[in-house]
Amino acid sequence: MGNGTENREQWGSRLGFIMAAAGSAVGLGNIWRFPYITGVNGGAAFVLVYFAIVFTIGISVMLAEFVIGRNAGLNAVGAFQKIKGGAWPVVGWMGVIAGFMILSFYGVIAGWTIAYMIKSVSGLMTLAAAGKAGDAFGAFVTNPVQVIAYQVVFMAITIWIVYKGVGEGIEKYCKIMMPALFVILLILIVRSVTLPGASKGLEFYLRPDFSKLTGASIFAALGQGFFSLSLGMGCMITYGSYLNKKEILPSAAVTVTFLDTMVAFLAGFAIFPAVFAFGIEPGAGPGLTFVTLPNVFAKMPGGMIFSFLFFLLLFFAALTSSVSLLEVCVAYFKDQMGWSRTKASWLLGGVITALGVPSAISLGGNLKIAGKDFLDVMDWGSSNFLLPLGGIFISLFVGWVWLDGAKAEATNEGKHPFSWMTAWIWICRVVAPVAIAWIFVKGLKW
């Protein structure tokens, strides 16, 4: 068994780490999931609840994960084992399992982005102009051979980047893709908010109507927050483990949380004005992106280009997240089992791709567990269950079990005290565990 701490890979620069961590956070969760969940949950009021959760609980759990990861210099399981042992590594284990689960269905949806880039320039606009974007989407996702083929292509790219390693793979490509993503998003926003009729979308998105909030929507905001910030499953522990001892962790947590939330918020500006400008239902669900946006693009001058750019953006966002999901699993097998990076990447990547096949098939509507599509079960079980649960334990670990160690690590042994230390500690001790547990009880329903 290797303990992985000697000659361990490291990020090449602070910027590289920030881009990689923000790349992990910014993903399908921001651009595909956030707008449709916001649409389903009534708009602006949900957005405010989401912000409140992210900037209290989310940011604190992120710092807790960085602190644990950098202190141990190990994967999620190894980190808990090294710092405390006992039953704590189970938290890391849950994370690795969540990694397998999330990446299995994430790869399927990410595969759609490749398909839709190609479709954008080969007839999707004509179909959409004829009002057939919904039919085209339905025909595509219920054809498992196609969906699986694109999933395999997407997973192969993910595996290849992870196999190249932390610096030469993950960091290098995130540094190119993240700024590109930002530029594309800005172009789309300008197009969307200048459409005639865009103001109704802005109103839906920005004027809160608190009567629309329910226990279930607060629960959805929590699950969305954990999913979007890549929390609760050891992803930020793993990325933190490649950080040098000089990095200032609280400021890194603030930057990554801020970037992630900004991209999600901006994605809403690209989508809602356009959705309303063309009289589309904002609560359309997961299809919001893949069904309604092509309609929107088809009615815009230069729509083909905007459509292609949008799905390229989604592809980049998905890729920088999928590599982090795979890295959680690879780091575990590398550190704890002594596997080589090559073996871990290709073998685990292959297994996860195979695990995604039932999700891909379930889109045809005939692979259900207790009435839900297999893909939804994987999504629901991981984002709304494993991640918040992981968040509770990570907070308790830092707030009660390993407090002095965590404080020392968070301040670089006292060299960089930070002003919200007390708030952070109490959020970890009480606020986060109680709030998550309470939201669980309120919102947990099938």
Residue type at 83 in one-letter notation = I
Among 230, 295, 336, 353, binds ligand PHE (CB under 6 A): 230
Residue 25 interacts with ligand PHE (CB under 6 A): yes or no = yes
Residue 321 interacts with ligand PHE (CB under 6 A): yes or no = yes
CB nearer ligand PHE, residue 11 or residue 276: 11
CB nearer ligand PHE, residue 230 or residue 292: 230
Least distance in angstroms from the C-beta of 325 to ligand PHE: 5
Q: Would you list the DSSP string of 341-394?
A: HHHHHHHHHHHHHHHHHHHHHHTTS--EETTEEHHHHHHHHIIIIIHHHHHHHH
Residue type at 334 in one-letter notation = K
Residue 384 interacts with ligand PHE (CB under 6 A): yes or no = no
Q: Select from 301, 202, 240 the least CA-distant residue to 95.
A: 240
- Residue 331: how many other CB atoms lie within 10 Å: 33
In the numeric block, the tokens 């609980």 are attached to 57
Residue 27 interacts with ligand PHE (CB under 6 A): yes or no = yes
Q: CB of 321 within 8 A of CB of 23?
A: yes
Residue 120 interacts with ligand PHE (CB under 6 A): yes or no = no
The number of CA neighbours under 13 Å toward the Cβ of 11 is: 26
Residue 345 interacts with ligand PHE (CB under 6 A): yes or no = no
Among 220, 325, 398, 427, binds ligand PHE (CB under 6 A): 325
Residue 238 interacts with ligand PHE (CB under 6 A): yes or no = no
Q: What is the dihedral of CA 345, 102, 174, 230, to 10 degrees?
A: -130
Among 47, 115, 233, 256, binds ligand PHE (CB under 6 A): 233
Q: CB of 369 within 8 A of CB of 377?
A: yes
Among 24, 238, 307, 362, binds ligand PHE (CB under 6 A): 24
Choose the binding region for ligand PHE from 229-237, 241-249, 296-304, 417-425 (rule: CB under 6 A). 229-237
CB nearer ligand PHE, residue 77 or residue 127: 77
Q: Under the rule (CB under 6 A), what is the footprint of ligand PHE?
A: 24-25, 27-30, 102, 227-228, 230, 233, 235, 321, 324-325
